[in-house]
Structures are given as structure tokens and as C-alpha cells.
């Protein structure tokens, strides 16, 4: 819980980030200390030139020092410890029960164990596939993809295999997407070898049917889209889109990254889609880990099941097996059968929610977002994307502080940085290219309390007030974080250093001066 901002100025116990003076671990060398020791064994005879000549330049610290160092660093990570309404990421509580269960039950399992020794985890996979099939209308889910983008890649590969099986792959070399679809769809389609055609938004906030028709044809391999988009706009023509693409012989993939608001109301299959993807580390409560391990659960209808990456969990009577004998399968997008701990955590989340919990979460996320819209509309200088569209938005809305920027010189970056001084993790702005200037995209979801949401908006309002009264304090923020704004030009070859080795080589002179 966070005390209301209204008291912030008066109180001395407002938020302050933890700050430890932690050196880079690479500086903790040459001490002769040990953090882990092993039994002695004789030095082996290594063939030819294979022996290492110089020991790796690694730290030498005690176990206690290693632990303290990383716990200090964890404390200097704001993340969800304050309030994070990071749009498109659907910030949820990550239940600790899933964490405990995966450590207790999964850590010692080998992925190549015989199926008879994996009955529990295979049952869980099968149960969860059934659960997601009921939610989406699809016929089979697989969990191999290591994230949402990897699931999009899976779809691009399934698309190749499907058209190849019909002898049409060379002809069907185009994948259609929209400018508001997550960049992973065009990127993975392109990596998979397709030409990507991106549709532009029109007045209603989405591309028109005429625009879609102008590019659909014999070269169409697939449509890859999300809906609603990140501006909170739902494309009501989506069924017609799917019909048009199907008529031309293409497949339709629903990127369900923005599922939270529509869950329990829509089924991708009933809208006609051939396949869809859920992000278990977003919508289904598994932790994000700052960027994985994640799971893009990929589901498809019967006609695409033969092409799924293997092995696939199959139920045979009362037991489960891993079916690897799948001649039409695309093979693997990643080794083994997925991030099992994340699947288990998501399964646990889903079971704890049930149908009524999912409905409640969808309701609350859309209600909270509209409440935010209503409050943000009263904040000086904040405007909403697609101002001509009055309908309530879905679970998130794109807003803009363009007016504030025009009037104060404080950009959305500055404002976001200043908000972290109040315990609010950096805002989600927008995918590039920016269609809305000075954008930000909060998503309240179902986790955060109304008080949290109010606090978040109060902070924004306070910071915008500061921008008008004292823009310097905003532009030089954060003042209350573990460190200050970065100043190095990290895209310059003689400046960037992604390892300590590189840093020492490039910046030795400067280090000497310090």
C-alpha cells in the first residue's frame, strides 16, 4: 500500500528508493576469497591445445558477499514494489504458491525423462491445454515458445508448413498485419522469410475493410493481428477480416496479448481465427522476470494441429505421453517442451481464478481503465488518443501529454522519470513509430486497488503541476532513485561497453582519473 500523495509533501516518510553503494562485481577481484568450493580432483590430461592458458577474470568473493551483493541489487529494483501500470504488460500479482510448487515439484525433472515418470507435469500440460481450448475455442495448445514473440514466430513457422503441405508456400509469401499490431508479428514473419504488409490506421482507429481487400490475394499466407489494440480500440470488422483472408486461402492468427479485457467474452476460434496466442507471463499471472522466462501459449484449430512443434502431450486413456512422431511438425522453435515452471504458475493462477474469476478480472480491468480515462481527462494537459471516438475503451487507453510538453518543455520521458521519484515504475509509452505524440499507455488491470490507481493519477497530476511550476525538477529527475539519469552515448562504438572487459579497454584513461 502507498500513502496518498496528498500527504506526500507534508510527510517526511514518503517513498525513497533503496540505495546501496554496490561496486560492479567485476571490481571484487584478486582477494583470494571463495564463494563455492568443491572436492579436489586431479588435473586431467587435456588434448592438444585445448587447455586454458589464463584463468578467467572473475570476482573472488565469499558466499555471504555474493548473496549480499545481489540482494542489494534486488532492493534497488523498483518494479512492482511500488505501483506499475505498465500498459500492454498486464501487471498482475504473481502468486507465490506457483513459485513454491515449481521449486518443490519441477526443479529436479529432466525434460528427456520417459513419459511414465512425467505423468504429473504432462497431466498439468494437458489440463491447461484443455482450459485454454475452452477459453479460446481452439483444439490444442502447446507451450514450447519462450515468450509471446516466440509464439508469433511459431505461427509464422506453422504458416510455412501449412502452405508447404498444400504446395502453395512459394506462391504465398506475404503476411498481413497492422501498424498497431505488436512489432513481434512483422519481425517474426520477416525472420520466417515472408514479405510483411502493414496496414495503416484510418479514421475509426483501425484499417478499413477496403484497405485490407486491397492487399489480400493469392500471395496472402496469413493475417497476424491483435484486437483490441494498445489504444483500447476494438476492431468491430474483425470477423469480416477473417472471412476475407480465409476466402483468399490465408490463415488468421490472433495475437491475444491484449486479452485481459475480452477474456470470458470472446473466443478467437468463434471469430474465425485459425490460431491464437496467450502470454502466460502477462494475462495468466506468471512472473515476468524482467524479461522471461516467459511462455507464449500457442493454440490452434484442428487443421493446424499436425504442424505444431513437438513433442505434444497426448492423453491415452488414463495416462499421458509425449508424441514426437509427427511427420508434418515444424520441429522445434526451442529445445524441449517449454518453460514448465511458468506453465505451472499460470495453471495455478488460472485454476484459482476459475470462470468467475476470469470474468471478474476482465470486468475490473475494463472498469478501472475507464475510471482512469475519466480521471485523466481532468488532468491539465492530458489528452486521449483518437479523440473523436467516444465509446468506452477496453482495458487500456493511449494518452498524450503533448500539451504539457508544448507548454513546459517537459516531455513524457521527463514526466515518467519524475514519477519514479514517487515509487511509480517507468511508464509504458507506445510502440514505435509514435502515432500519438508524447504518449503514455497505462493499464490498471485487476490487481491494483482503486487507491493505488488514484495514487498513480495523483502523482501524474502532481508532476504535471511541477512541470508548470518548476520544470527543472522534472527534467533532472529522478532525484530519489538509486542512481541519476544516464549520460553516456550508448549507441556509440567507442562508448558502449556491454562487458567489464570492454569497459576497461575503452575507458581505462577515465578510470585512472577517478
Partner 1 sequence: MSRLGLIINPVAGLGGAMGRKGSDETDIAQRATAEGRVSQAPHRAARALAAFRAQSDAPVLAGPVLPDGDAAQAFGPGALTQTAKDTLATVQAMQGQVDLILFAGGDGTARDICAANETGIPILGIPSGVKMQSGVFARSPERAGRLSAAFLADPRRRTEMVEILDLDEAARRDGRLSAQLYTVARTALDRQGARQNPKAGSTDPVGDLDAALAAYVAEMEPDTLYILGPGTTMKALKDRLGGGSLLGVDLAEGGRLTGIDLDDTALLARVRGRRVRVVLTVVGGQGFLLGRGNQQISSQVLRAAGLPPIDVICGAEKLAGLTPQELTIDTGDPTLDGTLAGYWPVITGAGRKQVVRVVA
Partner 2 sequence: MKPHPWMANSGGTAKQEMLAALGASSVEALFAQIPEDHYMKGPLDLPPQLSSEVALARHLDDMMGRNTVFPAGSCFRGAGAWPHYVPAICDEVVGRYEWQTSVFGAPTSDHGRNQAWFEFTSQIGALVEMDFVGLPVYSWGCAVGHAVRMASRITGRRKVVVPQVMDPERRMVLETYCEPTEMARHIEIVTVALGPDGCVDRDDLRAKIEGAAALYIETPGYLGVIDADPGELCDIARAAGAEAIVGVDPLSLGLLEAPGAYGATIAVGPTQPLGVHMYAGGGVGGFIASPDEERYAREYNTLNVSISQTREAGEFGFGLALFHQSSYGMRDEGKDWTGNSVYLWALANAAYMSAMGPEGFAEVGRLIMARARAAAEALNALEGVSVDLTQPVFKEFVARFDKAVPQVNASLRAAGILGGKDLTGEPGIEGNAALFCVTEVHTQTDIDRLVQAVKEAIA
Residues 400-439 interacting with partner 1 (rule: CB under 8 A): 405-407, 409, 411, 413, 426, 428-435, 437
Contact in structure between 78 and 17 (CB atoms under 8 Å): yes
- Rule CB under 8 A: which of 466-485 touch partner 1? 471, 475
The distance of closest approach from Cβ of residue 21 to partner 1 in the complex, given in angstroms and rounded to an integer, is 26
Contact in structure between 285 and 160 (CB atoms under 8 Å): no
Contact in structure between 211 and 202 (CB atoms under 8 Å): yes
The distance of closest approach from Cβ of residue 200 to partner 1 in the complex, given in angstroms and rounded to an integer, is 5
Indicate which single residue of 118, 201, 248, 262 sits in contact with partner 1 (rule: CB under 8 A).
201
Grid coordinates belonging to 118? 512425467
Determine the distance from the C-alpha atom of residue 102 to the mean position of all C-alpha atoms in its chain, rounded to a whole number.
21
Output 316 or 494, the one with its CB closest to partner 1.
Answer: 494
d(CA 406, CA 242): 42
Q: Which does 328 bind (CB under 5 to 8 A by kind): partner 2, partner 1, none?
A: none
The distance of closest approach from Cβ of residue 381 to partner 2 in the complex, given in angstroms and rounded to an integer, is 21
Q: Which does 243 bind (CB under 5 to 8 A by kind): partner 2, partner 1, none?
A: none
Strand order in the sheet with 383-384: 383-384, 399-400, 439-440
Q: Which does 179 bind (CB under 5 to 8 A by kind): partner 1, partner 2, none?
A: partner 1
Of the listed pieces 200-208, 219-227, 271-279, 451-459, which binds partner 1 according to CB under 8 A? 200-208
User: Does 328 interact with partner 1 (rule: CB under 8 A)?
Assistant: no
Indicate which single residue of 78, 83, 145, 184 sits in contact with partner 1 (rule: CB under 8 A).
184
Q: Which does 325 bind (CB under 5 to 8 A by kind): partner 1, partner 2, none?
A: none
3-class secondary structure, 25? helix
d(CA 31, CA 461): 51
Q: Which does 229 bind (CB under 5 to 8 A by kind): partner 2, partner 1, none?
A: none
Residue 465 phi/psi, 5° resolution?
-60, -40
d(CA 284, CA 296): 11
DSSP state string for 95-112: -HHHHHHHHHHHTT--TT
Output 234 or 413, the one with its CB closest to partner 1.
Answer: 413
**DSSP 8-class letter at 88:** T
Q: Which does 13 bind (CB under 5 to 8 A by kind): partner 2, partner 1, none?
A: none
d(CA 1, CA 43): 56
Contact in structure between 85 and 443 (CB atoms under 8 Å): yes
The distance of closest approach from Cβ of residue 57 to partner 2 in the complex, given in angstroms and rounded to an integer, is 5
Output 101 or 435, the one with its CB closest to partner 2.
Answer: 101
d(CA 275, CA 266): 14
Which residues would be at the binding site for partner 1 (CB under 8 A)?
88-89, 179, 182-184, 186-187, 190, 194-203, 207, 210-211, 214-215, 291, 405-407, 409, 411, 413, 426, 428-435, 437, 471, 475, 489-492
Amino acid at each position: 500500500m502507498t500513502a496518498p500523495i496528498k500527504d506526500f509533501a507534508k510527510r517526511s516518510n514518503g517513498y525513497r528508493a533503496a540505495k546501496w553503494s554496490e561496486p560492479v562485481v567485476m571490481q571484487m577481484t584478486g582477494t583470494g576469497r571463495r564463494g563455492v568450493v568443491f572436492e579436489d580432483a586431479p588435473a586431467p590430461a587435456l588434448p592438444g591445445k585445448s587447455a586454458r592458458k589464463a584463468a578467467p577474470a572473475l570476482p573472488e568473493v565469499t558466499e555471504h558477499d555474493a548473496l549480499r551483493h545481489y540482494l542489494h541489487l534486488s532492493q534497488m529494483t523498483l518494479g512492482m514494489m511500488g505501483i506499475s501500470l505498465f500498459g500492454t504488460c498486464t501487471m498482475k500479482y504473481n502468486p507465490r504458491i506457483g513459485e513454491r510448487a515449481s521449486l518443490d515439484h519441477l526443479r529436479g525433472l529432466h525434460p528427456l525423462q520417459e513419459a511414465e515418470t512425467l505423468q504429473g507435469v504432462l497431466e498439468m500440460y494437458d489440463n491447461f491445454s484443455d482450459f485454454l481450448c475452452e477459453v479460446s475455442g481452439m483444439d490444442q495448445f502447446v507451450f514450447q515458445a519462450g515468450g509471446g514473440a516466440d509464439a508469433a514466430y511459431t505461427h509464422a513457422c506453422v504458416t510455412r508448413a501449412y502452405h508447404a503441405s498444400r504446395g502453395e508456400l512459394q506462391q504465398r509469401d506475404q503476411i498481413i498485419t497492422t501498424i498497431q499490431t505488436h512489432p513481434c508479428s512483422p519481425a517474426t514473419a520477416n525472420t520466417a522469410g515472408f514479405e510483411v504488409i502493414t496496414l495503416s490506421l484510418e479514421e475509426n482507429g483501425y484499417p478499413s475493410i477496403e484497405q485490407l481487400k486491397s492487399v489480400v490475394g493469392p500471395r496472402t499466407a496469413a493475417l497476424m493481428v491483435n484486437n483490441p489494440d494498445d489504444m483500447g480500440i476494438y476492431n468491430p470488422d474483425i470477423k469480416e477480416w477473417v472471412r476475407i483472408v480465409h476466402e483468399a486461402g490465408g490463415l488468421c492468427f490472433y495475437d491475444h496479448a491484449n486479452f485481459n479485457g475480452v477474456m470470458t467474452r470472446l473466443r478467437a476460434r468463434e471469430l474465425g481465427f485459425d490460431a491464437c496466442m496467450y502470454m502466460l507471463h502477462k494475462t495468466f499471472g506468471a512472473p515476468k522476470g524482467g524479461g522471461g522466462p516467459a511462455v507464449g501459449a500457442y493454440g490452434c484449430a484442428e487443421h493446424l494441429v499436425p504442424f505444431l512443434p513437438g513433442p505434444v502431450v497426448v492423453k491415452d486413456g488414463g495416462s499421458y505421453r509425449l508424441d514426437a512422431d509427427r511427420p508434418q511438425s515444424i520441429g522445434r522453435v526451442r529445445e524441449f517442451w517449454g518453460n514448465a515452471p511458468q506453465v505451472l504458475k499460470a495453471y495455478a493462477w488460472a485454476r484459482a481464478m476459475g470462470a468467475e474469476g476470469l470474468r471478474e478480472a476482465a470486468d475490473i480491468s475494463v472498469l478501472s481503465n475507464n475510471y482512469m480515462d475519466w480521471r485523466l481527462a481532468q488532468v491539465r494537459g492530458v489528452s486521449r488518443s483518437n479523440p473523436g471516438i467516444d465509446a468506452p475503451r477496453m482495458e487500456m487507453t493511449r494518452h498524450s501529454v503533448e500539451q504539457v510538453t508544448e507548454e513546459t518543455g517537459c516531455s513524457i520521458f521527463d514526466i515518467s522519470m519524475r514519477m519514479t521519484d514517487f515509487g511509480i515504475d517507468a511508464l509504458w509509452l507506445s510502440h514505435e513509430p509514435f502515432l500519438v505524440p508524447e504518449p503514455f499507455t497505462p493499464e490498471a488491470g485487476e490487481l491494483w486497488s482503486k487507491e493505488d490507481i488514484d495514487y498513480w493519477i495523483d502523482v501524474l497530476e502532481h508532476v504535471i503541476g511541477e512541470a508548470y511550476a518548476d520544470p527543472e525538477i522534472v527534467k533532472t529527475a529522478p532525484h530519489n532513485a538509486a542512481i541519476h539519469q544516464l549520460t553516456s552515448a550508448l549507441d556509440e562504438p567507442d562508448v558502449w561497453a556491454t562487458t567489464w572487459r570492454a569497459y576497461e579497454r575503452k575507458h581505462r584513461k577515465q578510470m585512472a582519473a577517478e
